[in-house]
Structure 1
Amino acid sequence: MTQQGFLAIWCEMDADDLVDYRNWLTQEHIADRIYSPGFLGVRLFASVENECSHFILYATESPDVMQAPPYLQILNTPSPWTQRLMVKFGPFDRAAGARVVKIGRGFGSHVLVSRICSGDSRVDPVQARDALRAFIRLPETVGVRLLETDRGTTGIQSAEKKMRSGREGAFDYLLVVEALCEAGAAAARESLAGILQAAIPGLQSHDSLICKTIYGEAPYEGETP
């Protein structure tokens, strides 16, 4: 079975540009990507603590999709709308790579997201899966994914990247915990440090963010002609 890939983005916008930013995402930017070869679906989230802070998570058929010509063509031909908005991005991060562990089948209304640094230590998928199952035993938690950042893929230069500043993908793993409500995600956050210590023996640092779903697309559904 082919290992699935992911593309994750964190972006904050000024309140004055928030409506324009979300219109751009839902009317142009996301569609350009999700309907290109190899993309399976996407969800757009807003932080529960800061409505202007967003998290976007794409799933792809394989990690190679983010290095393929169709996607690179998108990155190197930004639209006028993209050019106008991307230079206004506030705090931004982006990472691409491969899915290592997936537990559970569904999605929740909220997610706990954590960027993890493990140094030179690589995760054992079996050990990580066994440890991460502890999240599923928490109330109102329905799924867990552990994703591994590929620095080479993340660092590919493009016209879009030149419009942004800052170091992108400077972490090793991304954890996404699916919850049925904000309280469920908060409970997962309370247990995060201990579970990560068991799942990732070389754990050096991690952050945490609770987000709510505000939009999603699945290309296989399409539109009514």
Structure 2
Amino acid sequence: MLGHAALAMWWDMAPAQRPEFEHWHTHEHYPERLGIPGFLRASRWRDATGGEGIFQLYELDTHAVLSSDAYLARLNAPTPWSTRMMPHHRNMVRSQCTVLVSHGGVTARHALTVRLSPAEARGEALLQGLAPLLEALPHRPGVGGAHLLKHSPPQIAATAEQKIRGNDSYADWVLVITGYEFAALEELAGGELGAAALEALGASAGALHGRYQLAYAAVPADIA
């Protein structure tokens, strides 16, 4: 993963709104975000099961980018097109993260995301249990990368974009596993990264698994 921080987001987008959303997101929003110092790569993913879900990942140089003047200026002055699109981001989950573990690549055909939290006083145990597995995963057939993020919100006021959307929720810890074979990620979702296995390592009950396919990715040089 590029950099030491990330912004991971999930939301639902109605099918009727998706064409305009993807046009705006690709041709206005990505150039805007990737023009901010410290934004290193952006990738947008569609629900692989045919649902309305979107997964968005921004890879950042440092966590300080999330409270930088340049980023806050964008969040507090959305364009007219952004202002029109923001209310269509339903059920927004927005995690402002530090990167705990990162092995292998990020962009691939498929991604498995797992939103989870450590059980009380089990955070270190969960990290120690996941670390060797995540290090080994990129070497398996069908898998390309394994990454663990932790939500760490910057101390900033609610922004104009947040106020348009309403209250955002967040995921505490985030697993992002990428690969070129959907079946390999499905096997992980039902096995070593399934709910029971994660709870045995120290996670709370209720981990949420999502399956996605890459729709678009860019780095600053792509949109310069």
TM-score category of the 2 structures, normalised to the smaller one = 0.7 to 0.9
- 1:180-200 CA distances to partner (integer Å, 9 max, x unpaired)? 1222221221221255346x5
Separation in structure 2 between the aligned mates of residue 167 and residue 68 of structure 1, nearest angstrom: 20
**What residue identity is the alignment partner of 2:110?**
H
How far the C-alpha of 1:10 sits from its partner, in A, is 1.0
Q: Secondary structure at the match of 1:209?
A: strand
How far the C-alpha of 1:117 sits from its partner, in A, is 1.5
Per the alignment, residue 213 of structure 1 pairs with 214
Q: Secondary structure at the match of 1:205?
A: coil
Per the alignment, residue 98 of structure 2 pairs with 98
Per the alignment, residue 114 of structure 1 pairs with 114
Asked if the contact 1:131/1:195 (under 8 Å) is kept, the reply is: no
Asked if the contact 1:154/1:168 (under 8 Å) is kept, the reply is: no
**What residue identity is the alignment partner of 2:57?**
L
- 1:118-148 CA distances to partner (integer Å, 9 max, x unpaired)? 2444346554311334534643112100000
Q: How does 1:144-159 map to 2 (within 5 A)?
A: 144-150=146-152, 152-153=153-154, 156-159=157-160
Structure 1 runs (4+) deviating above 4 angstroms are 124-127
- 1:3-56 CA distances to partner (integer Å, 9 max, x unpaired)? 611001112111111100001100111211112100110111000113532111
Matched, 1:24 2:10: no
Structure 1 residues not aligned, in runs of 5+: none
Per the alignment, residue 145 of structure 2 pairs with 143
Per the alignment, residue 70 of structure 2 pairs with 70
Per the alignment, residue 161 of structure 1 pairs with 162
Separation in structure 1 between the aligned mates of residue 94 and residue 155 of structure 2, nearest angstrom: 7
Q: Secondary structure at the match of 1:87?
A: helix
Asked if the contact 2:3/2:60 (under 8 Å) is kept, the reply is: no
**What residue identity is the alignment partner of 1:182?**
F
Separation in structure 1 between the aligned mates of residue 17 and residue 136 of structure 2, nearest angstrom: 40
- Work out the percentage of aligned pairs sharing the same amino acid: 23
Separation in structure 1 between the aligned mates of residue 163 and residue 70 of structure 2, nearest angstrom: 19
Per the alignment, residue 201 of structure 1 pairs with 202
Matched, 1:190 2:193: no
Instruction: Tell me the TM-score normalised to structure 1 length.
Output: 0.87
Per the alignment, residue 52 of structure 2 pairs with 52
Asked if the contact 1:12/1:92 (under 8 Å) is kept, the reply is: yes
**What residue identity is the alignment partner of 1:101?**
V
From the superposition, tell whether residues 30 and 188 of structure 1 become closer, same or farther in structure 2 (CA, over 3 Å). Answer: same
Per the alignment, residue 131 of structure 2 pairs with 129
**What residue identity is the alignment partner of 1:153?**
P
**What residue identity is the alignment partner of 1:132?**
L
Instruction: Tell me the TM-score normalised to structure 2 length.
Output: 0.87
Separation in structure 1 between the aligned mates of residue 29 and residue 204 of structure 2, nearest angstrom: 34
